[in-house]
Amino acid sequence: METSVIPPFSQSQPIMPFPWLLKTHTSEIRLFGGQVTSWKNDYGEELLFVSSKANFKPPKAFHGGIPICFPQFGTQGNLEQHGFARNRLWAIDDNPPPLPVNPAIKAFVDLILKPSEDDLKMWPHSFEFRLRIALGAGGDLGLTSRIRNTNTDGRPFSYTFAYHTYFSVSDISEVRVEGLETMDYLDNMKGKQRFTEQGDAIVFESEVDKVYLAAPSKVAIIDHEMRRTFVVAKEGLPDAVVWNPWDKKAKAMQDFGDSEYKHMLCVEPAAVEKPITLKPGEEWKGRIGLSAVPSSYCSGQLDPLKVLHG
Ligand code: BG6
């Protein structure tokens, strides 16, 4: 098992391998954007989608991996779409405040982002954003974000947030998502109107861009063809965004292949509907945990209302 961090501009030179770990789950993280760009299982199979047209160079995050959306999800005011954190150079955090010991974690790396002078002009708040990326013994990938308000003038700040996770799937038409049935959602394609999901698991036949509200703490993505189920666990993040651009939007995105929408699905643990507010000195923590299991592992237990809550 190995995690590695890749500095900006380089595509191949890991700077922090963990050579004492012998198994082969791997993850790769770029300092630009603090973006996870790869998560592989024991067989070396890539579990995250990264567009073949991705441009890994600054100043913009590419479509794939796990971009971090902060201090906003979406587009409001002067800030760039999905906030600036995904478009900034993060640093290795050599001395992070401790997190509770988790014996399941076998390798991790800590990153930190603080605002630049230019960031402060756009979003006038001082913060420390600490991100831990960790691989577990079974190959699970976990990201823990800690955001602290370091304003010295007594002002609170509010933000929205998402782990914009791109899963690699065999064929979007054959994929279903369980755990979000009966949930309320805001439909980004219909002016953020609120609807309630009806019926069975969610399947995909056209563009989807929905923010599920107060979503359960676990959601499953079942890929029939791969016989693989991704389990997406979240803590501190009430919502879950589900996005697939489908054909027209895929064609409109410059750094995205025309038919690549067939092989990706974003399920994004998020805090969108109700912004998080921090007073000076306060810290927020939000976590995503990803595992990939054979679909048979879950079979017969996939009623999310019974199994995936809690
Ligand atoms: C999703 C949003 O999370 O991200 C979509 O719900 C958006 O509305 C998509 O189009 C991609 O955004 P971007 O900025 O990475 O192209």
Locate the ligand 1 atom nearest the alpha carbon of residue 209 and give its number.
Answer: 6
Give the Å distance between the CA of 141 and the centre of ligand 1: 22
pLDDT range class, residue 2, cuts 50, 70, 90: low
Give me the DSSP letters along 4-30.
Answer: EEE-TT-SS--SS--TT--S--EEEEE
User: What is the biggest distance separating any 2 CA atoms in the chain, rounded to whole angstroms?
Assistant: 55
Q: Round the average pLDDT of the chain to a whole number and report it.
A: 90
Q: Which residue has the higher pLDDT, 302 or 256?
A: 256
- Does position 18 have pLDDT exceeding 50, yes or no? no
Mean pLDDT, residues 83-91 taken together: 97
* DSSP one-letter code for 80: P
* CA–CA dist 306, 290 (Å, integer): 20
- 177, 242 in Cβ contact below 8 A? yes
pLDDT of 297 higher than 70? no
Nearest CA to ligand 1 atom 9: 243
Using a 6 Å cutoff on CB, does residue 81 contact ligand 1?
yes
Q: Say yes or no: CB of residue 82 within 6 Å of ligand 1.
A: yes
Residue 282: what residue type?
Answer: E
The span from the CA of 111 to the CA of 122, in Å, is 22
Q: Ligand 1 within 6 A of 241 CB?
A: yes
How close is the Cα of 267 to the center of ligand 1, in Å? 11
pLDDT > 70: percent of the chain = 88
CA of 117 to the centre of ligand 1 (A): 26
Residue with tokens 């589900």: 242
Q: Whose CA is nearest to atom 15 of ligand 1?
A: 63
Say if residue 22's pLDDT is above 70.
no
pLDDT, tens digit (0-9, with 9 covering 90-100), for 159-189: 999 999 999 999 999 999 999 999 999 999 9
Percentage of the chain with pLDDT > 90? 81
| Centre of ligand 1 from the C-alpha of residue 112, in Å | 24
Place of tokens 């991790």: 108
Q: Is the pLDDT of residue 310 over 50?
A: no
d(CA 49, CA 245): 14
298 — pLDDT class (breaks 50, 70, 90) = low
Ligand 1 pocket, mutate which of 73, 75, 81 (most atoms under 8 A from CB): 81
With 0-12 CB in 10 A as exposed, 13-18 as middle and 19+ as buried, what is 281? exposed
Task: Name the pTM for this structure.
Answer: 0.91
**Contact criterion met (CB below 8 Å) for 36 and 142:** no
Residue 50 contacts residue 65 (beta carbons within 8 Å): yes
Please report which confidence band the pLDDT of residue 77 belongs to, taking 50, 70 and 90 as the band edges.
confident
Rounded Cα gap, residues 209 and 269, in angstroms: 14
Instruction: Write the single-letter amino acid at 244.
Output: N
At residue 296, the pLDDT reads: 73
Alpha carbon nearest to ligand 1 atom 10, residue: 245
Total number of residues shown for the chain: 310
Q: Give me the domains of the chain, ranges plus CATH numbers.
A: 2-309 (2.70.98.10)
Mean pLDDT of 133-143: 95
Choose between 4 and 305: higher pLDDT: 4
Q: What is the DSSP letter of 74?
A: S
How confident is residue 11, by pLDDT bands cut at 50, 70 and 90? very low
Is any atom of ligand 1 closer than 6 Å to the C-beta of 243? Answer: yes
Which residue lies with its CA nearest to atom 16 of ligand 1? 63
The tokens 């299991």 sit on which residue?
293
pLDDT band at 270 (very low <50, low <70, confident <90, very high): very high
Nearest alpha-carbon partner for 237 in 184, 281, 273, 202: 273
Is 178 a pocket residue for ligand 1 (Cβ < 6 Å)? no
Lookup: tokens for 201: 């698991």
| Residue type (1 letter), 240 | A
Query: What residues are labeled active site?
Result: 164, 268
Nearest CA to ligand 1 atom 8: 209
188-201, pLDDT tens digit by residue? 999 999 999 997 89
